[in-house]
Structure 1
């Protein structure tokens, strides 16, 4: 299943393909966690213990798997205390699963649900990364391409600024000219590959693009994934029509 939404920034979408179809959220849910942290009023310098024990929505405890986490730095800080800001940055810049669950523990699932509600989205991401007990109980993190665009549009400038530093230059970013400014998040797992961002061409107004793919092309690898190349091709095609997007919105 391929879902695509193209919209002039904070304007009605121009392209809606399977826009409301739910997909497994993967790491795109980290944008909602970041927004919840920003709106919580918590001190960004709050020292947070780095532990690999998390409370499941079922009431049990669960842990992350080091081999499934692409960011080694939080694992090297186990047993220490680190600033909340540092965890938030690792969560969205390097897509750390461990940092995500530590951030989520600070704000709670209800605050993340409020982020989606405020955006006008029906998507919900109630559980942490690798909360297998919750998944087995039927609690899933699901997003749609339309809701990812709505989420981006609802974010404060400071939150969007943090999303400009994604270290993974794949998916939508790979289909753009080098150095193109964008703010967003991608995510992948076996069977799913997604990316959503607001893109700022130097010669046209910004636009939002969200692509969600669920299917056999997605092998779960960070770079060498046929689904990643698919998202890059779609991004490149939309980029070629950036001036038409601006004209249609005027």
Structure 2
């Protein structure tokens, strides 16, 4: 069954986008790839990229101390805090009022998808710098996680499969210590129910996923031991049960894997 067949099976139940290609950035399969979805936690990758750009420039340091707090400037004006009930990464919350390193927060942000860690990093990096990593186009970072006032005002973070694939290609081709650092963060992701789920055990997948009500996304660099690496990004906004949305993404990844020696043949 091809990727197009998998998408036909869920036709009418929501919006589904796919972008598949090699690390040269040329897509070999696209389906609604430029249509944006609410980004959920996929925006954390551009935040990490912007952070490393500032580290390279000497504006930030991975070992600099950051006091953990939960009070941030809203994109709509005023202040907001992260809802702990919607943050599935408890370690950052246990450090409230204490100092931790920026590098520790970045690890929590990517490997555990901590919302609180994300807003702490974003506060230092800046929304504009994180958004700039997307390179323009319809994808955008406009606010922090759980900025409810901004959300009510229509200020949202958006991501398309093509936009997610583009930042993954950038990370995959970054030939320096910062690139190694980012790729290792992505490979350490502890939430592996989408792209990696059906791939052979031990396959290196450098990925960042995101989820919310009706939302399930994942984008990653897949590195087979017997073929060239490739990039896959899938965004879903649908009425599918969450487990089925995860299975859809995993099935698309498996179909890509099965064509890893000839990605151009995929349908």
**What TM-score results when the alignment is normalised by the length of structure 1?**
0.93
Which residues of 2 match residues 133-212 of structure 1 at below 5 A?
Answer: 133-155=149-171, 156=174, 157-158=179-180, 159-212=182-235
Structure 2 residue 150 is matched with structure 1 residue 127: no
Asked whether the 8 Å contact 2:221–2:230 carries over to 1, the reply is: yes
| Distance apart, 1:247 and its partner CA | 8.1
- Alpha-carbon offset, residue 23 of structure 1: 0.4
Gaps of 5+ in 1: 220-224
Corresponding residue for residue 84 of structure 2:
66
In 1: Cα distance, 2:21 partner to 2:234 partner: 12
Contact 1:193 1:218 in 2 (8 A): no
Seen in structure 2, the aligned counterparts of structure 1 residues 186 and 218 have a Cα distance that, compared at 3 Å, is farther
Question: Are the equivalent residues in 2 in contact too, given 1:175–1:234 (CA < 8 A)?
Answer: no
1:97 to partner: Cα distance:
0.3
Q: Tell me if 1:43 matches 2:57.
A: no
Deviations, residues 20-59 of structure 1 (Å, cap 9, x unaligned): 1110100000000000100012111110010011111122
Cα distance in 2 for partners of 1:151, 1:96 equals 20
SS of corresponding position for 2:92: helix
Q: Which whole-Å deviations, capped at 9, do the CAs of 1:128-172 have from their partners, x for residues lacking one?
A: 111011111111100100010111111232222221110112100
2:36–2:138 CA contact under 8 A, matched in 1 = no
Shift of 1:16: 0.8
Asked if the contact 1:199/1:207 (under 8 Å) is kept, the reply is yes
CA shift in 2, pair 1:10/1:121, >3 Å? farther
State the Cα RMSD in Å: 1.4
Paired residue for 1:7? 21
Matched, 1:18 2:13: no
Query: What residue ranges of structure 2 are gaps of 5+ in the alignment?
Result: 1-14
